[in-house]
Chain A
Amino acid sequence: MRKSVQDLKVVSNLRLNDDQHILHLQASNQLEYIHPGQFANILVDQSKNVFLRRPFSFYSVDYQNNIVSFLIKGIGEGTRTLLNAGVDSVLDVLFPLGNGFTLPEPEEKVLLVGGGSGVAPLLHLAQVLSKNSNKIHMLVGARSVSDLVEMDNYKRYANLHTTTEDGSHGEKGFVTDHSIFSEGMTEFSRIYTCGPDPMMKAVAAKARVKSVFCEVSLENSMACGFGVCLCCVVQTIHGHKCVCTEGPVFNINQLKWQI
């Protein structure tokens, strides 16, 4: 799909907890294909203090109703302003950006590992993989049960596993402490992960030890989102690459990560 700047109408703003909402935005034209892992760069014109657009992964795409959704966690002025977006207001959205995850062959068994707002692209991926008759396991980590949102939605597409740091839901500990990594790791042909850098690095380390294919979705800070400012680079085995155009999804073998 060609990149474009579109006015999308807020059709719903669903509050999940104090700092996480799902925004459903409707396009006036037929949506073209958006690949899981791709993202959008949203203008926050309701705030005078936010100058640049803010990038968000597609959380889900509904081609029938031309609705895209984003799972947004409020961490600063840009995201908090978006959490207040009123129904029927219009957002200026630049999309679709970046590449996306490499899809497995049908029937492959895959593991999706998410933490924090990093679960967003994984739901879109799970939606697509479920149509590809993949066996999907999804592991979501959070601090506490109150941070675990949208569990029912994930369960529609995947076998869900959880960890919480305080043990209030699922296994106690960090995602990489989950028993799935000690038990059945090699039954998964691919691991896809998105979340805080330390979490992705820990997942990548597990995958590397067992030589399992692993892709990570990076969240480097960005100015443009479409490959012209060169601000978003990550060090790869082929030198600096832009996360916005050559990522945000990278195979861990491409990255020069110390893991």
Chain B
Amino acid sequence: MADLKTKIHNIKLKNPVLTASGTFGYGVEFDDFFDVDLLGGIIVKGTTIFPRQGNAYPRMAETASGMLNAVGLQNGGAPYFASDIYPKLLKYKTNVLVNVSGSTIEEYVACAEIINELDHISGIELNISCPNVKEGGMAFGISCPSAAAVVNAVKKVYQKTMIVKLSPNVTDITEIARAVEGAGADSVSLINTLLGMAINAETRKPVLSTVTGGLSGPSIKPVALRMVWQVSQAVKIPVIGIGGIMNATDAVEFFLAGATAIQVGTASFIDPLASLKILKGIDDYLNRHHFNHINDIIGCLQM
């Protein structure tokens, strides 16, 4: 057994495998399949201050090696999360983080204030990169001043670790990463989904009710890997790699590119046990290559 312990700011992770928001529910949906506490942490569904019904059906289109989604942050709102869902998460011994979203800076702040009161939540992941909402969301994540402004505002009310989740739908992701680092982000996670579109040729109609949606899955891995590599050289805070991680080899590639931890997303839809298998596979890789610690491969791309 290699040592898989790592740290994201003040959050101690027993291993670097986390689950991506919106792909792991509240964790409890996986209790039938495996002991979720084995993971380094879980990041629960995108949460907003007000309840959201999300977008109309159809919200999903399968693509070559991936899928588009247009869920649109359907959730019961932060007060509902605190009263009805949070109590169910107290049983987890591993880190539970909440993905926080909003349409305005005030909404982000109000949501973060509520989560700040919840002792058992280790940190928040600020989602400034959701492509599926009309206002806010990604709009904050595609310009440096607005990204910095929302991070700044939330930093004032949120005391624990704040990870900022970046959008790949930008010209230069390193600029945004530096801007949020400057504004007080403790870590950055990337990437959120890539804006895409699907058309049904037979009906000559868009497949998604929203026309465009967010692309995820193995098809986005090369883009994600490139961005993680660029960002890890641009900032000093830890980088969390996300995007098309289906197996341990994919995960190792992200560590080599500079990620301190990774998140498993769409893979969990196909195999609910994917995150656990990836965790075991990372350990196997380290043993096979005689590394004692996960740190021995982080950012160790041989050029």
Contacts and interface: CB of A to CB of B under 8 A. Distances in A.
Interface of A: 2-5, 43, 49-53, 94, 220-235, 239-240
A38 to B, nearest CB: 14
Contacts of B56: 235
Contact of B62 (A2, A52, A94): A52
Contact of A226 (B64, B65, B272): B272
Contact of B74 (A50, A52, A233): A233
Nearest to A239: B53
Chain A interface, >50% SS class = loop
A85 B14 CA distance: 42
Contact of A51 (B29, B59, B62): B62
Interface of B: 22-25, 29-30, 32-33, 53-54, 56-60, 62-67, 69, 71, 74, 217, 266, 268-273
B29 A228 contact: yes
Contacts of A49: 64
B77 to A, nearest CB: 12
B209 to A, nearest CB: 10
B60 A5 contact: no
Contact of B67 (A52, A220, A226): A52
A50 B30 CA distance: 24
Given A228-B23, A228-B269, A233-B57, 7 more contacts: A4-B33, A51-B62, A51-B63, A52-B62, A220-B57, A224-B268, A226-B272
Contacts of B67: 51-52, 223
Contacts of A225: 269
A178 to B, nearest CB: 29
A131 to B, nearest CB: 27
B269 A240 contact: no
Given A228-B25, A231-B71, A240 B53 contact: yes
A230 B32 contact: no
Given A228-B29, A229-B60, A223 B272 contact: no
A5 B23 contact: no
A223 B58 contact: no
A168 to B, nearest CB: 27
Given A4-B32, A5-B273, A231 B59 contact: yes
B179 to A, nearest CB: 31
Nearest to A240: B53
Given A2-B32, A4-B32, A53 B25 contact: no
Contacts of A227: 25, 29
Nearest to B27: A228
Nearest to B69: A231
29 contacts: A2-B32, A5-B272, A5-B273, A43-B271, A50-B62, A51-B64, A51-B67, A51-B217, A52-B67, A52-B269, A53-B270, A220-B57, A221-B60, A223-B60, A223-B67, A223-B269, A226-B29, A227-B25, A228-B29, A228-B30, A228-B268, A229-B23, A230-B71, A230-B74, A231-B60, A231-B69, A232-B60, A233-B59, A240-B54
Nearest to B217: A51
B61 to A, nearest CB: 8
A228 B60 contact: no
Ordered nearest first, which 7 A-B pairs have the shortest CB separation? A231-B60, A228-B25, A224-B269, A3-B32, A2-B32, A231-B59, A230-B71
Point out which of B25, B62, B63, B71 has the most chain A C-beta atoms below 10 A from its C-beta. Answer: B62
Contacts of B266: 223
Given A5-B273, A52-B269, A224-B268, A230 B62 contact: no
Contacts of B59: 230-233
Nearest to B60: A231
A223 B69 contact: yes
Nearest to A245: B29
A230 B272 contact: no
A233 to B, nearest CB: 5
Contacts of B23: 228-229
A63 B24 CA distance: 32
